[in-house]
């Protein structure tokens, strides 16, 4: 059966496995103090245009990273502003609340938080006589690409950053699928742009060619005690060199910048073909996720031939389904999928 269920169903880029094998019996210090991790940190900071500033930490997964970065940024009385569709708002089992912080949701549009709605929220908040009785806004969370595969333009991110600076709120960008943005022709935001326009972001590894791992980039200094906070949350790997080695490979020879090129190229071509065949896409395809509207008979007939992700019910006869391509998706797999989706009359 074909599988377009998600972008984390394969292992790692072969160069990563090769490097892990080569180094397998080399003794490494624990907890990220090894040379592979050091090299990876240096390469990442350079790729982000952070010369002589910034700190990089390696973690294992997206929810863990969001939890730790926000727990480090937020005072005990603070919450984080996010779009209702933000991953932290819905699909992280209350990780943020579990660490004591409310997610303050705003509607957003196509998965993107808009500078104006954040500004309006903050103005209202600080004019409220009861503000001291409410959760204090302490950070802003966005995703690039968003959970809907859409992208912030440079102007949109700059506008958000300006609002954050006005209210002295750190801006945090969840880059779980960042490689898919970097390979997209629609993308305006390089790693350097991101580093310049936010306070902390993470470079996704798990969904972008690593076995596991995310690289958190604090564009200035990391919050005090961040290392200990990571340990306290059980997120510090004894064999930290396994994360460092992977990012060292991903940031050698610009591998990360191009690892998703084929996935994006295939996704955009597939989207165009689907539209040509008369299918409706619920969101414009910008990265590796395609949100396809199917009627019930269509989805039933596909059910035993290809795995897709049910996204949401649209009306009594139509649903939105997500197709995700990954760095490892082949042209053949896409062709096979397309053959299952005939021209609509």
60 binds its own copies (CB under 8 A): yes
84 binds its own copies (CB under 8 A): no
Pick between residue 33 and residue 272 the one whose CB is nearest to its own copies. 33
CA separation, residue 210 to residues 67, 214, 242, 249, 337 (Å): 20, 9, 10, 9, 25
Q: From the list 42, 46, 53, 94, which residue makes contact with its own copies (rule: CB under 8 A)?
A: 94
CA separation, residue 155 to residues 13, 114, 160, 189, 201 (Å): 33, 11, 9, 10, 18
Task: Tell me the closest approach of the beta carbon of residue 241 to its own copies, in angstroms.
Answer: 8
97 binds its own copies (CB under 8 A): yes
Task: Tell me the closest approach of the beta carbon of residue 71 to its own copies, in angstroms.
Answer: 7
343 binds its own copies (CB under 8 A): no
258 binds its own copies (CB under 8 A): no
* Rounded-to-integer distance, Cα 341 and Cα 302, Å: 8
193 binds its own copies (CB under 8 A): no
- Give, as ranges, the residues between 11 and 40 that touch its own copies (CB under 8 A): 11-12, 14, 17, 20-21, 23-31
Task: Tell me the closest approach of the beta carbon of residue 21 to its own copies, in angstroms.
Answer: 5
- Give, as ranges, the residues between 106 and 135 that touch its own copies (CB under 8 A): 129-130, 132-135
311 binds its own copies (CB under 8 A): no
Chain-centroid distance, C-alpha 52: 26
Q: From the list 71, 156, 298, 319, which residue makes contact with its own copies (rule: CB under 8 A)?
A: 71
Number of residues that bind its own copies (CB under 8 A): 77
242 binds its own copies (CB under 8 A): yes
Find the helix or strand (DSSP H, E) in which 123 lies.
helix 115-127
186 binds its own copies (CB under 8 A): no
> Taking contact as CB under 8 A, which single stretch among the options 85-93, 162-170, 190-198, 278-286 is the one that binds its own copies?
85-93
CA separation, residue 86 to residues 92, 109, 121, 134 (Å): 10, 11, 17, 21
Q: From the list 15, 106, 196, 328, which residue makes contact with its own copies (rule: CB under 8 A)?
A: 328
Task: Tell me the closest approach of the beta carbon of residue 323 to its own copies, in angstroms.
Answer: 14
221 binds its own copies (CB under 8 A): no
Residues written for the chain:
345
Tokens of 95: 């990780």
> For residues 244 and 210, is the Cβ–Cβ distance under 8 A?
no
77 binds its own copies (CB under 8 A): yes
310 binds its own copies (CB under 8 A): yes
Q: From the list 185, 224, 297, 315, which residue makes contact with its own copies (rule: CB under 8 A)?
A: 224
* Rounded-to-integer distance, Cα 293 and Cα 271, Å: 12
Task: Tell me the closest approach of the beta carbon of residue 335 to its own copies, in angstroms.
Answer: 16
199 binds its own copies (CB under 8 A): no
According to DSSP, residue 208 is labeled T
316 binds its own copies (CB under 8 A): no
- Pairing of β 78-83 and β 136-143: parallel
* Rounded-to-integer distance, Cα 16 and Cα 248, Å: 9
> For residues 210 and 2, is the Cβ–Cβ distance under 8 A?
no
CA separation, residue 54 to residues 49, 88, 172, 217 (Å): 10, 24, 14, 7
Task: Tell me the closest approach of the beta carbon of residue 279 to its own copies, in angstroms.
Answer: 23
* Rounded-to-integer distance, Cα 155 and Cα 146, Å: 16
């Amino acid at each position: 059966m074909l599988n377009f269920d998600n972008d984390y169903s394969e292992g790692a880029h072969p160069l990563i496995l090769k490097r892990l094998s080569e180094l397998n019996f080399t003794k490494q210090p624990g907890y990220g103090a090894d040379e592979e991790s050091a090299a990876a940190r240096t390469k990442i900071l350079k790729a982000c245009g952070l010369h002589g500033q910034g700190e990089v930490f390696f973690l294992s997964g997206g929810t863990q990273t969001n939890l730790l970065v926000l727990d480090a940024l937020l005072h005990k009385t603070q919450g984080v502003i996010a779009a209702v569709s933000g991953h932290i708002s819905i699909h992280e089992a209350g990780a943020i609340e579990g660490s004591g912080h409310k997610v303050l949701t705003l509607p957003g549009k196509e998965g993107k938080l808009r500078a104006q709605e954040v500004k309006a929220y903050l103005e209202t908040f600080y004019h409220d006589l009861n503000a001291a009785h409410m959760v204090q806004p302490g950070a802003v969370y966005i995703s690039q690409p968003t959970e809907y595969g859409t992208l912030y333009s440079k102007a949109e991110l700059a506008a958000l950053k300006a609002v954050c600076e006005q209210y002295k709120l750190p801006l945090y960008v969840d880059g779980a699928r960042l490689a898919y943005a970097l390979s997209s022709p629609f993308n305006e935001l390089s790693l350097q742009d991101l580093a310049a326009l936010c306070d902390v972001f993470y470079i996704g590894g798990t969904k972008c060619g690593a076995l596991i791992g995310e690289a958190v980039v604090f564009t200035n200094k990391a919050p005090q005690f961040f290392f200990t906070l990571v340990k306290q949350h059980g997120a510090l790997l004894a064999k930290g060199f396994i994360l460092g080695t992977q990012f060292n490979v991903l940031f050698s020879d610009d591998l990360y910048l191009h690892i998703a090129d084929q996935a994006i190229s295939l996704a955009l071509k597939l989207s165009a073909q689907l539209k040509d065949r008369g299918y409706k896409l619920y969101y414009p395809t910008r990265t590796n996720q395609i949100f396809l509207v199917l009627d019930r008979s269509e989805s039933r007939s596909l059910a035993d031939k290809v795995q897709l992700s049910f996204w949401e019910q649209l009306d009594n006869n139509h649903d939105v389904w997500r197709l995700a391509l990954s760095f490892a998706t082949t042209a053949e797999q896409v062709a096979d999928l397309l053959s299952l989706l005939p021209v609509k009359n």
